[in-house]
Chains A and B, each alone.
Chain A
């Protein structure tokens, strides 16, 4: 295994700095919201993790297309890495949203359009991981994964647009919210700065984790090839 590239070490350090910066902005810079006060601070990490979650599923779909075109297994490694990381971030978004919903909506969960589509999205990609494990042939597995992420990718825009396509109690932070939306708030400039900083911070963290996870995937492939070589 090659030693960690300097650029990746730099990116890892940058991620830690961005995470610390985002936390500092959330707790020291962003003002307290008038109605929800402290619990609204979950919003910054909730939005940022949902954003990188969706970004990763799109990256996986793109990697799937590239695999289908080039038939190079490296794209399968990228696809798997993107899905795994996105599942973690999207889970964080769902759970943190649920915790925020409890004092704001009076319930942990409701089968609202946004929450339902988000839960379906998470389950679709969880099934991807489970189904992959049942296929032993690497090329068949990669082909299956590519087609699956491509079709699964449709659920990303559906989830994103759900608050505009259907009536929902989930607030739309940017743009016009539904009349039924609850827990929405007007953002002060400092809140907006903090939200965008958190989005950038989590995008950098995502890129770092993706690179690290791709290295892990390559290492796993190397071990697999060595095993085959020795068993022959």
Chain B
């Protein structure tokens, strides 16, 4: 049997890693989304200036 103290330490570590990877992905997702939206707005302004 795995001692409780060791077992709980690895469980916390496991869930910390799971949520950290998910959080990093979600942050990268929102950063890319905002950056693309900003690019689109700038390009639309440039296009309207050209007209």
Interface residues of A (CB under 8 A from B): 1, 34-39, 41-42, 45-46, 49, 88, 91-92, 95-96, 99-100, 102-104, 212-213, 216, 219-220, 222-223, 226-227, 229-230
Contact = CB atoms under 8 A, between A and B. Distances in A.
A99 B43 contact: no
Contact of A96 (B4, B14, B39, B43): B14
A92 B17 CA distance: 8
Contacts of A39: 2, 6-8, 10-11, 14
B29 A212 contact: yes
7 contacts: A1-B40, A39-B6, A42-B11, A45-B14, A49-B18, A88-B22, A220-B36
Contact of B40 (A49, A96, A99, A223): A223
Interface of B: 1-2, 4, 6-8, 10-11, 13-15, 17-18, 21-22, 25, 29, 32-33, 36-37, 39-40, 43-44, 46-47, 50
Contact of B29 (A34, A96, A99, A213): A213
Contacts of B2: 35-37, 39, 103-104
Contacts of A220: 36
Given A37-B4, A39-B10, A226 B43 contact: yes
Given A49-B18, A88-B21, A99-B14, A36 B43 contact: no
A92 B16 CA distance: 11
B33 A216 contact: yes
Contacts of B36: 216, 219-220, 223
Given A36-B2, A216-B36, A219-B37, A230 B46 contact: yes
Contacts of A100: 10, 14
Contacts of A103: 2, 6-7, 10
A216 B1 CA distance: 47
Q: Closest 9 CB pairs between A and B?
A: A42-B14, A226-B43, A38-B7, A38-B11, A99-B14, A39-B7, A38-B8, A39-B10, A88-B25
Contacts of B43: 223, 226-227, 230
